[in-house]
Amino acid sequence: MLDITYDGTRNISLSGRFDASQAEKALKVFATVTSSCVVDMQNLDYISSAGLGVLLATFKRLHDAGNTMVLKNMNDCIRRIFQVSSLDRVFAIE
Amino acid sequence: MVFEFIEEFVAVHNIDLGTAFIVKVAIEELFTNLVKYDVIGAADIPISLSVEGGQVIMVMRNIGGGDFDVSAATGVDVEAPLPMRPIGGLGLHIVQSLVDDIRYEYKGQIGTITVTKSMEAKRA
């Protein structure tokens, strides 16, 4: 189960599991993000390629409009997923 | 339900967190892929997990779901610049990058996927 909280301005937090079953729900929330944002992944336990796809699609859209997207507080396992998919070179990660 | 089975396996065999995460990723990505490409909805996909000689061995059988070689090169360009980066197709690339070995055999309308991952450390 994935919980997404968006404060309507800049801050998004993800917690739980971001897998294929949660991708559609996540996409609906991220579709409402239209400016630079920070995604806090401190309580995110897991992300699948479907979750990466949602983040990447969102980032591409925001980037094309001149906005930024920062991912922060990801755990070591999730960071490894970003590394093997070379998305650690695409996203700003703190 | 699949993940409860994996959690139980990880606990019983005292598997380290890093290896456990990779097992979950491999099972999730491969299973999702098989279901996604099972256009007629006929696939039965039993999964077995075992530990042998310091390695976790995952076997998935795609019964009736068609022939799809998950061990083949994905062709996904993970070095492409942002505008050219594909949104999808990363699942198999991630699995192939994280595990030690992935083998595929198709025989008698059953695709058998065998994935091997050495355990990374003793769990504290």
User: Interface pTM (ipTM) of the complex?
Assistant: 0.89
What's the pLDDT score for residue B67?
A: 87
| Residue ranges in A1-94 assigned as alpha helix (H) | 23-30, 49-64, 76-84
Residue A52 touches partner B, C-beta closer than 8 Å? yes
For A27-84, the pLDDT digits (tens) are 999 999 999 999 999 999 999 999 999 999 999 999 999 999 999 999 999 999 999 9
B18 to chain A: which residues are within 8 Å by CB? 76-77
Residue A5 touches partner B, C-beta closer than 8 Å? no
List CB contacts of A71: < 8 A, sequence separation 6 or more.
Answer: A39, A41, A55, A91, A92, A93, A94
A20 to chain B: which residues are within 8 Å by CB? 28, 32
pTM of the model: 0.89
Q: How far is A39 from chain B (nearest CA, A)?
A: 19
List CB contacts of A28: < 8 A, sequence separation 6 or more.
Answer: none
Cβ B77 vs Cβ A85: under 8 Å: no
What's the pLDDT score for residue A35?
A: 96
Q: How many residues are there in chain B?
A: 124
Closest Cβ opposite residue A90 in set B29, B85, B98: B85
A75, two tokens: 């755990």
CA-based nearest residue in chain B for residue A59? B82
Report residue B104 CA to chain centroid gap: 11
Compute the mean pLDDT over every residue in chain B, rounded to the nearest whole number: 87
Q: pLDDT-derived band of residue B42, with 50, 70 and 90 as boundaries?
A: low
Buried b (16+ CB within 10 A) or exposed e, B82-121: eeebeeeebbbbbbbbbbeebebeeeeeebebbbbbebee
Q: Do B24 and A85 touch (CB under 8 A)?
A: no
Q: Using CA atoms, how far apart are residues B61 and B120, in angstroms rounded to an integer?
A: 26
